[in-house]
Structure formats: C-alpha cells, structure tokens
Amino acid sequence: MNLYHYAAPATFYHLAGRWIPWFAWGAALLAGIGLYISFFVAPTDFQQGEAYRIIFIHVPTAWMSMFIYLVMAFWCAIGLAFNTRLSFLMARALAPTGALFCFLALWTGALWGKPMWGAWWVWDARLTSQLILLFLYVGIMALWAAIDDPKRGDRAGALLILVGAVNVPIIYFSVTWWNTLHQGSSINLTKAPSMATIMLVGMLVMAVAAWLYTIAVAFVRVRGLILERERHTDWAQAALKEA
Amino acid sequence: MWRFLMTVIRRDLLLAARRKGDWLTSQFFFVMVVSMFPLGIGADPEQLRRVAGGVLWVAALLASLLSLQRLYADDHRDGSLEQMLLSPQPALILALGKAIAHWLIFGLPLLVIAPLLGLQFALPPDAIGTLVISLAIGTPVLSLLGGVGAALTLGLRGGGTLLTLLILPLYVPALIFGAGAVDGVLAGMGAEAQLSLLGAFMGLCLLLAPWVTGAALRVSVD
C-alpha cells in the first residue's frame, strides 16, 4: 500500500467518507456496552460508594485529552517535515475534540471531587496541569481563528503545538513540584487502590469507544476542511454535487 | 554572524533610547499592577510577605506580554523585518538578538525596580536578594518564549490578546520556579533547587526558542 496515495486530499476525502460509519457505529456500540458495564455490572466501591462510577467517563476523557495533543504534535511534525497538507488538516480537525475531552475531564473531575474531597476544585497537580492543557488547546484554536491565510495558519499552529509539546512535561513536572511545596499530601491520587477486573474492563471499553469517537469526528471535520481548501478543484465540485 | 547579532542588539537599543515612552510604559505597568494588590487584599505585612513572590512574578509576566507586542510589530510595519530576513544571516541570530535586546530593555530595569517593590511588600533582605536572582534568571525566559508568540501573532488582528492566550500557559514553569524560590527562602528551605530548575528551563529556552522564533518569523512574513 502506498501511503502517499492516501496523503492526497482527494483520495483521503473518499476513504474517510467510507470509514466514518464504521468508527461511528463502533463508538456507539462500545459506549453502550461500556456504560452498561459501568452502571449495572461493576460492583459498588466499598470506599467511595456509587460516586466512583464517574471514573468510567473521567479516566477515558483525561487520557484522550492528553493523547490527542500528542497526535496533533505528531501530525504537525510530519507536516512541517514533509510539507503534507493533509497533516495540518488532521491537527486542525483533532483540536476541538481534544479541548472537549479536556473540558469533560475537568468537569467530571469536579463532580467526583465534591463528594470525595468535599470541594469542587482543589489545586492538585493533575487538575492544574489539565487546566493548563485546556489553556493550550484554547490558545492554539484562537491562533488558527485569527489567521486568515490557511498556509500561514497551518504552519504557525504547528509551531505553537510543537513548542507546547516540549513544554507540557516541564509544566507537569513544575506543577507537581509546586503542589508538594504549597500543600501537604492530604490528597493522593497517584496511589490508586487495586481495581476490580470488571471495573478495569469497563474503563478500557469506554476508552476504546472514546478513541473510535475521536477518529469518526476528526474524519468528519477533516472532510469539511478538505472541501473548504479544495473548493476550486473539479473533484471537490463533483463531490459537493453528489452530496 | 557575531557582528550581525551585535548590530541587531545595538539597533534595538538605539530605537528604544530614541523612544523612551515605549519601554517605560511596561515598567510603570509592572509597578502599578503590583501596587494594586495591597489595595485589593489589605495591607497586613504578614499577608503581603506571603504573596509577594507570586504577585511580583505574575506582574512581571503581564508586563513582559505588554512589551512583547511591539517586539517585531514596528519592524514588520516599516518593512525592515523583511529586509533582515532576506539577508544571508540566519533568522535564528536575528531572533536571538531581538530577545537579548528585549531583555536589556525590559528585564534589566525590572531587576532594579523589584527590590523597592519587595520592600513595600515587607520582604526580608535575603528574600529580596532571591527575588532579584530569580528575576535575573527568569526574565530571559520571558523574552525568549515571548519572542515565539510575538513572531507567531505578527500583524494579526487582536494580536496583543492573542499573544497572552498563547504564551501565558507556556510561562507556567518560570512562574512556579521563580515565585517558588522566594517562597522557599521565606519558608527557610533555601532556593537553590528552584533557582537551578529555573536556570535549566532558561537554558532550554535559550537553545530552542530563537530557533522556533526564526521559523515563526519566516512563516509570518512569507
């Protein structure tokens, strides 16, 4: 299989169109199974009661929010190195989903924190670095929104994402440091109690569902972006008439 | 290459000397933001001492963002930036020279003002010393990383606000280590660890930021 063949926007547009239903239905199916496991199969936690069930949403969203940033950084590096137009479009298509997951992780974290810690928000290292990650997403999308020239926007956004990718581990490290300096280790998130297997299964199913959802949504968005960029070409006109 | 670097620095210093109002603005902004805090949170010396490191550092971040908007904008508007990029010298050197000049104009005066503000915030002498050292190591980070943002937002509408959105999250490590050093001295733990980490971060920025800034300038001016 020649990968460069699919790097052409015209080919990828049709390929993505064929794949979207598979990913979308897969995501819906797995989310259904995952939610069933989380609410009906998984036992009540003896320490945290029913409130722990939020982790089935919380953990996959937090994972995805970080993972999507890495994928964006990967596509940006590829785009800058090989000058492939599609790579930048992938990064653009992924960013809103990443920001959404980031927000959901913070939101569900707050919902979980209220019954567990007695506060909606604590300046814990993980929460704080997640918040800063959300700021990074917002900054990148604001930069894209402000630049009208698509080529300049692609490259400027890519540079910012890569700078952020280098900085993210440093931010996480410094926030952890700051956290231990400013407050005692009254809350310890890292020491997770051993989890029942069925809980882990539920979480992993939800994580895969989040993956498939991300791919499906990113493909829908990237198709839109491709059409927008290629609107002057014949194939794009033909594809628009079909649709 | 060395001569090009010195020329860029000298040119920016000369421009700043001819237009004193421009760079003094961000220094006064720094003083004013810091002075607002006692009015807002109360003048209890104990409380002021506790927040001094953080307040001064946050004010320094904001002041740097204010001055960074102008870093490349004027040269871009009159076309000299394009000429400098067209010269055979690497854009990296241009970005480095600009960052050094910005630090000399923005960071150095800050080091002189900060001890006075530290006195207003009832900081003991050793904490004031640490504050100045932390600013001395940390403000180059602000100039270097801020240069990336200034180059990326060159000529965009709402450039100033956008610059803040882009760069403020990236400043977080400098803020934490810088303000942490002052807090460390106040808590009697010493500041060596934070200052070392801040120095390491500054080294990393010195290595990477001019390079990224150069690339960003090429993207923006193209």
Residue with tokens 């992938």: A90
- Residue A60 in domain: yes
Share of chain A above pLDDT 70, in %: 91
Task: Tell me which chain B residue has its CA closest to the CA of residue A138.
Answer: B165
pLDDT over 60 at A104, yes or no: yes
Q: What is the DSSP code (8-state) at residue B171?
A: G
CA distance B40 to B94: 42
A125 domain residue, yes or no: yes
B158 contacts in chain A (CB < 8 Å): 146
Looking at the domain assignment, is residue A78 inside a domain?
Answer: yes
Q: How many helices and strands (H and E) does chain A possess?
A: 8, 0
- What is the pLDDT tens value at each position of chain B, 222 positions in all? 888 899 999 999 998 888 877 778 889 999 999 999 999 988 888 889 889 999 999 999 999 998 898 889 888 888 888 888 888 888 999 999 999 999 999 999 999 999 999 999 989 999 999 999 999 999 999 999 999 999 999 888 877 889 999 999 999 999 999 998 998 888 888 788 889 999 999 999 999 999 999 999 998 887
Report the distance separating Cα A230 and Cα A238, nearest Å. Answer: 11
Whole-prediction pTM: 0.89
CATH code at A53? Answer: 1.20.120
Average pLDDT of A192-196? 60
Q: Which residues 6+ apart lie within 8 Å of B40 measured at CB?
A: none
Assess contact for A162 and A76: CB atoms under 8 A. Answer: yes
Overall domain count for chain A: 1
Q: Do B212 and A159 touch (CB under 8 A)?
A: yes
CA–CA distance, B64 with B54 (Å, rounded to integer): 15
> CA-to-CA distance for A87 and A76, rounded, in angstroms?
6
Alpha-carbon span A128 to A94, nearest angstrom: 22
ipTM value of the model? 0.88
Domain extent for B100: 2-221
Residue written as tokens 């090429």? Answer: B218
Q: With 50 as the cut, is the pLDDT of residue A186 above it?
A: no
Mean residue pLDDT of chain A comes to 85
A interface mutation test: which of B141, B167, B172, B205 has the most A CBs within 10 A? Answer: B172
- Cβ distance B184 to A177 less than 8 Å, yes or no, reads no
pLDDT at A182: 54
Work out how many CB contacts closer than 8 A connect A with B: 81
Angle between helices B2-18 and B91-102 (to 10 degrees): 40
Q: What is the DSSP letter of B78?
A: T
If one compares B135 and A54, the residue with the highest pLDDT of the two is B135
- Give the B-side interface with A, CB within 8 Å: 145, 148, 152-153, 156-159, 162, 165-170, 172-173, 176-177, 180, 183-184, 197, 201, 204, 208, 212, 215-216, 219-220, 222
A19 falls within a domain: no
Identify whether A6 is part of a domain. no
Look at residue A110 and tell me if it is in a domain.
Answer: yes
Overall domain count for chain B: 1
Query: How many CB atoms are closer than 10 A to CB B12?
Result: 21
Pairwise CA distance, residues A70 & A58, whole Å: 19
Here the tokens at position A56 are 């089935």
Contact A159 B201 (CB under 8 A): no
Could you tell me which residue, A127 or B8, shows the higher pLDDT?
B8
Under DSSP, the state recorded for B189 is S
Q: Report the Cα–Cα distance between both ends of chain A, in Å, rounded.
A: 28
Q: Would you say residue A189 lies in a domain? A: yes
Is A33 a member of any domain? yes
DSSP state of A47: T
Domain that holds residue A143: 25-214
